[in-house]
Structure 1
Amino acid sequence: MRTLLIELKESLLKKKMLSILILLQTCLLFALISALYLSFYKIDTKTKSFYAQYEGKNIYKLSDQLFDEKEVEFFSNPNELLKVKNFYHTLLNSKDFLYLNTTLQHIGVQNFKGQSIFLQGYEKGDPRPPYQKKEGLPSFDRVKSIQINDNVLSTFDVKVQKGRVFNKEDFLFKKGTKIPIILGAEYQSTYNVGDTIYFDYLNQELEGMIVGILQKNTSFPVNGDSEFYADRYVILPEFIMEEVPQNAEVLSFQQKHYLHAINGQIFTNKDMISVQKVVNAISQKVSFDDYIIIGANTIGISLMFTMMKQNIQLMSLFTAVIFIFCIISISLSLIMKWDTNIKKYAIHLISGATVPQILLYAFAEILCVICLSLTLIFSFMQLVGEMPISYYFTLLGVSLIIIVLGMLPFSFKLNQSNIVKILKKKE
């Protein structure tokens, strides 16, 4: 064993540049496989937890038609609010389809701790300035926010890294209680679960408490965007308000809120005619007919799945090409290294060493380089995040293939070569 270690050390140090070259090549191969594995693992996860929700489904857009005189009538007649409330509640509880509502409506936040990336207008290069509701009172920063209903949470399996998601009771608006708030992943270093936030939503000042922080890259459908990322958004529950408005301020608040709520999406496997019949029945039941249904987004969904399949095919091809190229390159490098040591191997055989012993020596030399490469890659991947156990088995399997392919040419030459001729040739 001691002799093996001495020989191994001498060989690696004697041909340092070649050993380093092999080390760099194996590191490159493992790094590429790691990157591709991450991509495949991410796509596979999203296919199960996000994209799979769209398969075989149609998405219809529901839009109100309260324009001009109708809009004036709606805001001036308190009785119209009840119709819209009933319309939304019936859509939300329908067994014939899934009603999703995601409203992009910024909020004003007092004493906001976040950076400008969280402000309304940041993506356009023009963050909106703070505002005051009354002179002398604290100002509000215009912060990006999205309001979602319970169906969005349950359908797209929204998860948090800290705290919890909304429960059923969180969607019931109760006067005088703190509003539950979930923050996007990029807020994790700015706010903590349990922090209190004072904010202005639709001209109604409310007190909220942070109950959770989303996992990174959490996404769900918003309007025409089937994959909307919420990392920089404040998420509020789409309230259900059972309270009858007692004054003009509360009435205006509820009217604006429910006008947003009925402009959602219908998620179903039904065709347009079937959906129209169901919604018409709801409309007649609650006496609200100022709406239209915009046709199914079947082209967009089909295109999304087609692009996913094409991406997977391209990634598979890229993986195969890189894998073959690196294997061939590493094999050639190992053959070159073995050719430089063939005289030493012949002397060992004349001195009484057996072929299996020489193969063990070669195996140990390759294994040393491969283990160092794996150690470097595994250490780096720990910084990326927790990897599934299958990842480690994948790289170990690739390592075994490299060793086997690398030793095959050497084993063949060792068994076929004439020792005397080798020594004479090297003299």
Structure 2
Amino acid sequence: MKSKMIIAVTAFLLFLFCMLTVTYYAKRKINEPVDNYNFDYSTCLNYKVKDNYGQPGHERFRTILHRENTFAQYVKLLEEFNSADNFRYIEAHDVLLQYVGLYPNGDSFIPGYGSLSEEELESFINQRAKAEDGSIIHITNIKGALISEKAFTEDLSLQAHVVRGNAFSASDFLYNGNRIPVLLGYDYLELYQIGDVITVLYAGYPLELKVIGFLDNTSSVHIGSTDISLDTYILLPSFDIEAEYAKNNQIFSNLHYSHKTRGFFTVTKNVEEAINEFEEIVEKSGLDYVYFPLPE
């Protein structure tokens, strides 16, 4: 991807740091005993998958982004997750998007709405950034989410929640640099039309999103104790990237697959066997991943 933008990321990094700090203390390192928890692990069937990069004592994320074999490691890890015998991997993950241009919409679409002060929210709106050509642009942090075809049609059945327009089709889940079809949450219904194009930064790279439909006001991601309404989200297909494209766009591809591999898993058989299988897959991958429980 040759059109990478150089952006001012102070506010973004602050937001990311806060999110990582919160999730870090909820994680269980792979070699820590289950007895450290105050609940019965054998009854917990749903788990969140995260990576440990950038945490104290762990490798920096920037380091693995530039490794030649990282993309292949991510692809293999995802394949192993999706073919596990004792758990079902659900590829759904919230992501930070950055709206490009003067922001025209409300505060509810901004990450942290409801928990941040008005002043803090304002710091995420119309941040000045420098594009690759040296021009000044404005960016605003907004909520996004990725979902795989399997999670969309089977695990969360979101195709039944499209209230206007069309659901994702199989071809939407393969990316080769083209415009990306998206579904908008219900609160966007009066703000955009089918066919509108929204320019955003995703992982610091510019993407054009084409609106193909809208979700109803009952759309959500509900897995264990996680229950997230999608009313204020932009839903992107968690697209696969072909090896040749990834070779020419290494950093973007690695960043994207780092999101694809931070979903959820649900135990389908024995809990202990599922956890052991997860840990074996991660250890074999050479990547640094952990999980934490989402009890009902």
Q: TM-score, normalised by structure 2?
A: 0.71
How many angstroms apart in 2 are the aligned matches of 1:191 and 1:62?
Answer: 33
Which amino acid in structure 1 is aligned with residue 169 of structure 2? N
Q: In the alignment, does 2:101 pair up with 1:108?
A: no
Structure 1 residues 60-82: Cα deviation after superposition (integer angstroms, max 9, x where no partner)? 23232334436354123121221
How many angstroms apart in 2 are the aligned matches of 1:287 and 1:269?
Answer: 22
Structure 1 residues 272-293: Cα deviation after superposition (integer angstroms, max 9, x where no partner)? 3211343355446x63352234
Structure 1 residues 336-381: Cα deviation after superposition (integer angstroms, max 9, x where no partner)? xxxxxxxxxxxxxxxxxxxxxxxxxxxxxxxxxxxxxxxxxxxxxx
* Counterpart for residue 82 of structure 1: 72
* Counterpart for residue 99 of structure 1: 89
Equivalent residues in 2 for 1:303-318, closer than 5 Å: none
How many angstroms apart in 2 are the aligned matches of 1:167 and 1:93?
Answer: 22
How many angstroms apart in 2 are the aligned matches of 1:69 and 1:282?
Answer: 19
* Counterpart for residue 168 of structure 1: 170
| Structure with a larger share of its residues in helix | 1
How many angstroms apart in 1 are the aligned matches of 2:196 and 2:162?
Answer: 16
| Structure with a larger share of its residues in strand | 2
* Counterpart for residue 288 of structure 2: 290
Per the TM alignment, residue 262 of structure 1 is displaced from its structure 2 partner at its CA by 1.8
Structure 1 residues 208-248: Cα deviation after superposition (integer angstroms, max 9, x where no partner)? 111110001311137x752210101111122211234345x
How many angstroms apart in 2 are the aligned matches of 1:268 and 1:61?
Answer: 12
Equivalenced residues, count: 238
- Runs of 5+ consecutive residues of structure 2 not aligned to the other structure: 1-42
Per the TM alignment, residue 58 of structure 1 is displaced from its structure 2 partner at its CA by 1.1
* Counterpart for residue 212 of structure 1: 213
Contact 1:110–1:141 under 8 Å retained in 2: yes
**Aligned counterpart for 2:61 among listed residues 54, 71, 74:** 71
Which amino acid in structure 2 is aligned with residue 168 of structure 1? A
- Runs of 5+ consecutive residues of structure 1 not aligned to the other structure: 1-55, 302-427
Larger relative contact order, structure 1 or 2 (CA cutoff 8 Å, min sep 6): 2
How many angstroms apart in 1 are the aligned matches of 2:165 and 2:88?
Answer: 27
Q: In the alignment, does 2:108 pair up with 1:117?
A: yes
Contact 1:84–1:288 under 8 Å retained in 2: no
Structure 1 residues 145-191: Cα deviation after superposition (integer angstroms, max 9, x where no partner)? 1222223322222111101222222121122x210111000111000
CA distance 1:95–1:114, change in 2 (3 Å): farther
Which amino acid in structure 1 is aligned with residue 185 of structure 2? G
* Counterpart for residue 126 of structure 2: 130
Q: TM-score, normalised by structure 1?
A: 0.50
How many angstroms apart in 2 are the aligned matches of 1:185 and 1:81?
Answer: 35
Which amino acid in structure 1 is aligned with residue 80 of structure 2? T
Equivalent residues in 2 for 1:267-278, closer than 5 Å: 267-278=266-277
Q: In the alignment, does 2:233 pair up with 1:233?
A: yes
Q: State the SS of the aligned residue for 2:175.
A: coil
CA distance 1:120–1:282, change in 2 (3 Å): closer
Per the TM alignment, residue 115 of structure 1 is displaced from its structure 2 partner at its CA by 2.2
Q: State the SS of the aligned residue for 2:89.
A: strand
Per the TM alignment, residue 109 of structure 1 is displaced from its structure 2 partner at its CA by 1.9
Structure 1 residues 50-108: Cα deviation after superposition (integer angstroms, max 9, x where no partner)? xxxxxx98112323233443635412312122112210133235464321133222212
Contact 1:186–1:232 under 8 Å retained in 2: yes
The structure whose Rg is larger is 1
